Amino acid sequence: MEKTENKIIAGGNFLITPSTPDQCFTPEEFREEQKMIEQTCVEFLEKDVLPYLDDIDQQKEGLMVSLLDKAGELGLLGAAFPEKYGGLGENFVTATLINEALGAGHSFAVAVAAHNGIGSLPILYFGTEEQKQKYIPKLATGELKGAYALTEPNSGSDALSGKTKAILSEDGNHYLINGQKIWITNAGFADVFTVFAKIDGEHFTAFIVDRDTKGLSFGEEEHKMGIKGSSTRQVFFEDCKVPKENVLGEIGRGHIIAFNILNIGRLKLCAAALGGAKRALNITATYANTREQFKTPIGQFGAIKHKLAEMVIRTYATESSLYRTSKWIAEKEKELAASGKNEDETLLGAAEEYAIECAMLKVIGSECLDYIVDEGVQIHGGNGFSDEYNISRSYRDSRINRIFEGTNEINRLLTLDMYLKRAMKGRIDLLKPAMAVQKELMGIPSFDEDDAPFAAELKAIANFKKAILMCAGAAVQKLMMKIDKEQELLMYIADMLNYTFMAESMLLRTMKMNGEQKELATQATKVFIADAADRINHAGKNAVNAFADGDEQRMMLLGIKRFTKVAPFNTKDARRAIADKLLDTKQYFF
């Protein structure tokens, strides 16, 4: 049964706050109702989507629209929307699970995620009551399809530099929008667009624009490397006449909408990537069982087992991190609602609170999927390079995820930027823990051993956090306001954060687990922590060498060595046990 009383940790505070298993929600705690919704998604994909992937990729006329209509009839589009707007009122965890389950649907997953997320949530979160009543019920059922128009030819990561303009008409009743948007998902069939433009070329503002608006036109479908079935077009505005009532949110505050919606979009992308990763993993496991070389199934070879096990481990890490965060957001919504906040404030406040984790999850999920499809192709060998095998589609479709919703480079930089801004505002206390680590470095390390279950793993993660605080604290102290110019340094520290968050999420989930799965989960967690120690050591040394010198450098490098030291562990045998279980079940088994 899903727990609802877990004490939540404030956004970003996992770095400085010890966590216990009871504070970590896990997939093992899904309610039966949530499992039924997940099964509905799986059955829908297997019956209506996966058999027609070639037709979808060829953009067969009307097919994607009809699939979205069917998803709407099943309640999968409006599951997380409030009941008063025609939704099912499901919580954030359920919405995340739906995104994951549908994430195995290749181009369809992109279309449904764009509709459910960035295509609908701006209106739900920021719309007036009249706007919500007009659009949300129809978006919830799929009668209307949504899209989000932010990116322009010369403004990608720098979204606020867009040139699209809006000028109030002489009669004061409309805004005339002129400009161009590119890479707009669902543009070929969407009925309603959230469009960003600068009023008088200055005030960045969001608008609701209907498809039949005069002056709105579209380019041809883009020919893409992957997600070929996802409609992607340019959108043109030529004196596009939008009623002033369609201004979304406050004039000049469009960036609030853009950035808050992207927070949720990043987490949803992680969920979809996880669903795609599980499907690619299952396909690869089946192939490794049936493909023989030297009269032996290739899955029996150690080199292949290593790859298969690593796929399972990274999937387990991603899944554990995703649902830990999703539950925090769901609980934060409850907390804000109980404090008297209105519905919009609870949704937005919860998303903003965990913006750091959402940025991390975007990187974690997209890079997990990329690893799995890449090694999936490798295990398929020459067949993996053939369009006759679905793993090649998975490989092509995966690549966009490291660009969508802010590139992974931008999200790594954002992670540290948000930490530093919250520290300056007093929202998170990084100074005291960082000073405590510096003081610890000057003392004699403790060699006390604790033989309690998972004590060594808990200590390792606590030390990983010390390594991060040491590097970040010293870097800020030395570079001050210039630190934002040292992007390589920031990305090294972001990697340390990502590995630590994944390791801790895995460990807390494993500690909470019961039954026969626990032994394999323990093996997976120990492998990840052993490897994370090496990765954090590598990133930490690069970070230190990027800004420190002399005695400070020597002391900090010794600190990195101390904080990333873990007990020897036979990762080979652990991986073989995980791979054997995968080959036996022929599917992801956690």
Report the C-alpha gap between 24 and 302 in whole angstroms: 34
The single-letter DSSP state of residue 447 is -
Region of 194 (left: φ > 0; alpha: ψ -120 to 50; beta: rest) is beta
Residue 473, helix vs strand vs coil: helix
Q: Which of 100, 319, 333, 405 is catalytic?
A: 405
Q: 405 catalytic, yes or no? A: yes
**With contact defined as beta carbons under 8 Å apart, do 362 and 414 qualify?**
no
**With contact defined as beta carbons under 8 Å apart, do 175 and 166 qualify?**
yes
- 526-546 burial, b if ≥16 CB within 10 A, otherwise e? bbbbbbbbebbbebbbbbbeb
The secondary structure of 160-208, three-state, reads: HHCCCEEEECCCCCEEEEEEEEEEEECCCCCCEEEEEEEECCCEEEEEE
What are 341's two structure tokens? 């906040």
Residue with tokens 């994944």: 502
Q: How far is CA 293 from CA 289, 385, 410, in A?
A: 11, 18, 43
What are 488's two structure tokens? 């390589």
Report the C-alpha gap between 225 and 320 in whole angstroms: 30
Residue with tokens 């590119």: 182
Region of 350 (left: φ > 0; alpha: ψ -120 to 50; beta: rest) is alpha
**Torsion (CA) 201, 203, 206, 209 in degrees, nearest 10:** -40
Q: What radius of gyration, in Å, describes the C-alpha atoms of the chain?
A: 24
Active site residues: 405
